Chain A
Amino acid sequence: MANTILILAEQLRGSLSDITFEMLGEGRKLANALGVPLYAALLGSEAASLAAKLGAADKVFVVDNASLNMAPANTTAAALKAVMDQAQAGLVLIGGTNVSMGVGAVLSAKANLPFVNYCRAIRADGGAVVLTSQLFGGKILTDVKLTDGKGIVSVYPGAFQADAGKSDKTPAIEKVEVSVEAPKVTFKKYIEPETGDVDITKQNVLIAVGRGIQDKGNVELAEELAATLGGAVCASRPVIDQGWLPLSRQVGKSGMTVKPRLYLALGISGAPEHWEGMQGSQCIVAVNTDPKAPIFDGAHYGIVGDALEFIPLLTDKVKARKG
């Protein structure tokens, strides 16, 4: 029996998410290494038209069923199980995103296969597949070996390049009829992001503040620096939860994904949830009092020190430089 690789193509409001291409790119490499085909599953009546973009896959299984639009994890997993059987898939990759969270676990229960979460690297080892996952917010890595190459994997967003999964090829498309039980959970409506004064996804320069900013008053210091550099202020979740900045300024897993030319992270330790939203920035500069803060592992430039002390100093220097 062929042990094919299947990817759940994730989409939200009619467009495919980055994670879909990230998984396609990595899935392609793995499929080539193992010598098996790579398939993608596209679920829901609004999604069918997106199949053409999944050229990195050898074939796209489309389940065109309105019950799968905004469906809960167990409904999605049930349909995916049917596709899995149809595709004779052994390894299923699912995005570790808010949108897809839960699907993998249910599927693993239904398929009675191991479920490995937080996966950051995948490699073939003979016929086996070795998965590297992060635990404890990235402080520890673990390798799991799927000796028969079978399992359900939740892929950490941002772990792989999305570009590698984009292809001009036109994939074969196979429609699959699946009887879908009407989900108990009903989707009612979207709640649009709070329209903030600024769209942080469109800024060239972002001054990001974290827990280290200590109090609301200090956000002003960051605002001043942002104004000087011609950018905007954004924040990690703790700052938003405090209500110091509106939700529209949140960067990270539940917030915005940003790719500015400069991302200046002040008092942000660099939890994976935050990292996910800003890792694509061209130049990342981190200021943190803790020399061991994980943010320094990924930033381009690091400064160990108190962000509060540093902000006004930098503002003055930049002003002086600009004259």
Chain B
Amino acid sequence: MDTNPVSLLGSAGLWVLWILTLIAFGVFAWRIYQLVGLLRKGRYEDRFDNLPQRAVHFLKHVLIQPRIFNERSIGLPHFLIFWGFVIYATCFNWALVRGLFPLLPVPYPDEVPIVGLFLELFSVLVLVSLAVALVRRLFFAPPHLHLSVDANLILALIGILMLSTVYGSAFRVVTEGGEFNAWAPFGSLLAKAFSEATPQTAHTMIAAAWWVHIITVLFFLVYLPYSKHLHLLASPFNVFFSNAATRPVGSLNIVGAKEDMTAGASKWEELTWKQMLAGFSCAECGRCDRSCPAATSGSALEPQQIVQKIKQHFVSVGLKPPNGTPKLIGDVIPAADLWTCTTCMACMNCCAVWNEQVPIIVTLRRHLVSQGEVDRTVQDMLGSLQRYGNSFAKSDRMRAKWVQTAGLKIKDARKEPVEYLWFVGDYASYDPRCVDITAKTAKVFAQAGLDFGLLYEAERNAGNDVRRIGEEGLFEMLKEKNQQAFAKAQFKQIVTTDPHTYNTLKNEYSWNGNGVAVKHYTEVLDEQIQAGKLPLKKKLTGRVTYHDPCYLGRYNGVYDAPRRILQALGAEVVEMPRHRDKSYCCGAGGGRIWMEDAEKVKERPSESRIREAVALENVPTFVVACPKDIAMFRDAIKTTGNEGKIVVKDIAELIAEAMEG
């Protein structure tokens, strides 16, 4: 199909094509220039490290997209639409260049039989995928999927592209005599319907299909950066620059920042460029919202909306500052929404474009904290941490009182060298519901022959949740105090009770290359059991279910150690529907444990979780590996009226039982 001989409304086709192309690419380039300009106004952070690792991450998650498949109905269709798009985009550019330069000694892509076949095959696959996508949107839309006209328009445009390909092919078959052409199977089939058409008509129709195709693509090109399909341009970069490619997701450290980030962001320019890129990358698919315990329990927080609202805000304000610019926090995003996040990582764990919602929320919280806008209960807790180094407003001298109460003798790691420094944490040290379990854990450690010791009153809250509340300065202070205490103690490894503590010690503390391994007690005890060092006197029987703590599982990938322990004890582990990386947060994380419930709670996350466990057949034991879970779930059993049906036990309690014989 040559553009030369074609005349559109009296103008030579070639000129029309040139003009349309220049306009479309011009508008596209201008828009991209604008958007990149906005990103450049954001704060700097270094995401250019470890390029090979990033490349691998990119290859896997852009080209294969395993996360798309975590929702089956749309997984394959999206995959096909994506690859269809890639192939079509390539061929389009090929066809366009050929059209713009008619003298080039190359054929059009659809004139190459093998390419034509591919285009046909994909256009049919994509059409089927589009049908699936459309039916899903219209009739089976999952909650939180953003049902915009925008999305439907794009589906329609893609449909037009595919149809124009098949029609073009059909009329080409007609011009060739209508015989079945193995390189154009669908075109041949369709050609039968047009067998009566004159060659003249067929030629015109080929031209029409070509122009429809090209004009649609050019329109698409202009429209794309103004629509949610910007994700198609931005998300590959987003995946490439994601933190997960190179470092643990459990770290909130910002690398290479040129400004002080302690006070967070109150304006869009105070976000980092990468945090802004999230908005361009979001495909509005709603996966994050569907997995979010806050959104599910009826709170106004929707991780997707946070990302989207930020984007809409900075695109409109950044390009054309209106009078009385709305405030990012307050007008655009209500502060109350930010406080309902439990930082459970469910959203980031399922985001197909690898957005980082939790750090954005924490960044905004930091601003609120810097202004002193914090819940009274959280204020009291932060005050207590400033003063006593624990969240219980108890004297730091009382931290190891449980040792005394239980009549134990435990080494003081500040006075004698130990293999393991046991970082007990606030809840396990102070909470009256937890101290008995802590004492049992100590006995299990001792019987397992572990050489361990404590920091006693020198231990401070590790600061994981303080940091996620947004009190960065206090986190730094606590970290510094702990590191001073570490420096005075002699140990080779650290074992923690609390997964939250575990996360920050492991991922956010600097160990100056000392090679200190930070382990959760389930990891250590698993090792001991595997090595045959734990004298188990009796086999436990019965079915149990295990709740993966967010900060152990999703944050740090520890899923198997606790399950191996349970199996070694003889228990049959029955999984809840939401387990391992799909585990459902208890609602305590990110400082939520100190906050009031939002006004309208449909069902607290912990209650939903207990109902999930109770629905399992004949499972009377709910096993946890986090002191906060003890508090949260024992409460939830009461509020859901499930006393007597299920009990919450720490995994250490079960081990102690098995060791007692």
B150 within 8 A of A: no
Chain A residues near B635 (CB-CB < 8 A): 308-309
Chain B residues near A313 (CB-CB < 8 A): 638
Q: Which residue of B is nearest A308, CB measured? A: B635
Q: Are B597 and A215 in contact (CB under 8 A)?
A: yes
B373 within 8 A of A: no
Q: Are B432 and A215 in contact (CB under 8 A)?
A: no
B404 within 8 A of A: no
Q: Are B377 and A214 in contact (CB under 8 A)?
A: yes
Chain B residues near A242 (CB-CB < 8 A): 376
Q: Are B638 and A215 in contact (CB under 8 A)?
A: no
Query: B597's contact among A217, A289, A309, by CB below 8 Å, is which?
Result: A217
Interface residues on A, range: 10 to 19
B596 within 8 A of A: yes
Contact with A along B617-652 (1 / 0, CB 8 A): 000000000000000000100110000000000000
Query: B596's contact among A217, A289, A306, by CB below 8 Å, is which?
Result: A217
Contact A289:B638 (CB < 8 A) given known A214-B377, A215-B377, A216-B596: no
Chain A residues near B638 (CB-CB < 8 A): 309, 312-313
Within 8 A of B (CB), among A170-222: 214-217
Q: Which residue of B is nearest A289, CB measured? A: B432
A-B contact number at CB 8 A: 18
Contact with B along A283-323 (1 / 0, CB 8 A): 00000010000000000000000101100110000000000
Contact with B along A231-268 (1 / 0, CB 8 A): 00000000000100000000000000000000000000
Q: Closest CB-CB distance, B397 to chain A, in whole Å?
A: 15
Contact with A along B593-630 (1 / 0, CB 8 A): 00011000000000000000000000000000000000
Q: Which residue of B is nearest A241, CB measured? A: B376
Inter-chain CA distance A306–B431, complex, in Å, is 11
Chain B residues near A308 (CB-CB < 8 A): 635
Q: Which residue of A is nearest B631, CB measured? A: A306
Interface residue total, chain B, C-beta cutoff 8 A = 9
Chain B residues near A214 (CB-CB < 8 A): 377, 596
Inter-chain CA distance A214–B432, complex, in Å, is 16
Q: Closest CB-CB distance, B15 to chain A, in whole Å?
A: 71
Inter-chain CA distance A213–B541, complex, in Å, is 39
Q: Which residue of A is nearest B595, CB measured? A: A215
Q: Which residue of A is nearest B380, CB measured? A: A211
Inter-chain CA distance A242–B377, complex, in Å, is 9
Q: Which residue of B is nearest A215, CB measured? A: B596
Q: Closest CB-CB distance, A274 to chain B, in whole Å?
A: 18
Chain A residues near B376 (CB-CB < 8 A): 242
Q: Which residue of A is nearest B598, CB measured? A: A217
Q: Which residue of B is nearest A305, CB measured? A: B432
Chain B residues near A217 (CB-CB < 8 A): 596-597
Inter-chain CA distance A308–B433, complex, in Å, is 13
Q: Which residue of B is nearest A304, CB measured? A: B432
Inter-chain CA distance A215–B598, complex, in Å, is 10
Contact with A along B188-226 (1 / 0, CB 8 A): 000000000000000000000000000000000000000
Chain B residues near A216 (CB-CB < 8 A): 596
Q: Which residue of B is nearest A243, CB measured? A: B376
Contact with A along B374-405 (1 / 0, CB 8 A): 00110000000000000000000000000000
Q: Which residue of A is nearest B601, CB measured? A: A217
Q: Which residue of B is nearest A313, CB measured? A: B638
Q: Closest CB-CB distance, A314 to chain B, in whole Å?
A: 12
Q: Closest CB-CB distance, B493 to chain A, in whole Å?
A: 34
Q: Closest CB-CB distance, A317 to chain B, in whole Å?
A: 13
Q: Closest CB-CB distance, B140 to chain A, in whole Å?
A: 36
Inter-chain CA distance A145–B552, complex, in Å, is 62
Q: Closest CB-CB distance, A78 to chain B, in whole Å?
A: 42
Within 8 A of A (CB), among B416-436: 432-433
Q: Closest CB-CB distance, A67 to chain B, in whole Å?
A: 42
Inter-chain CA distance A216–B638, complex, in Å, is 18
Inter-chain CA distance A242–B379, complex, in Å, is 12
Q: Closest CB-CB distance, A318 to chain B, in whole Å?
A: 17
Inter-chain CA distance A308–B432, complex, in Å, is 14
Most chain-A Cβ atoms within 10 A of its Cβ — which of B596, B597, B638? B596
Chain B residues near A215 (CB-CB < 8 A): 377, 596-597
Contact with A along B125-142 (1 / 0, CB 8 A): 000000000000000000
Within 8 A of A (CB), among B428-453: 432-433
Contact with A along B42-83 (1 / 0, CB 8 A): 000000000000000000000000000000000000000000
Chain A residues near B377 (CB-CB < 8 A): 214-215
Give A contacts to B, CB under 8 Å.
214-217, 242, 289, 306, 308-309, 312-313
**Contact sample, A vs B, 18 pairs, CB 8 Å cutoff:** A214-B377, A214-B596, A215-B377, A215-B596, A215-B597, A216-B596, A217-B596, A217-B597, A242-B376, A289-B432, A306-B432, A306-B433, A308-B635, A309-B635, A309-B638, A312-B638, A312-B639, A313-B638
Given contacts A289-B432, A309-B638, 16 further A-B contacts (CB under 8 A): A214-B377, A214-B596, A215-B377, A215-B596, A215-B597, A216-B596, A217-B596, A217-B597, A242-B376, A306-B432, A306-B433, A308-B635, A309-B635, A312-B638, A312-B639, A313-B638
Q: Which 4 A-B pairs have the closest CB atoms?
A: A215-B596, A217-B597, A242-B376, A289-B432
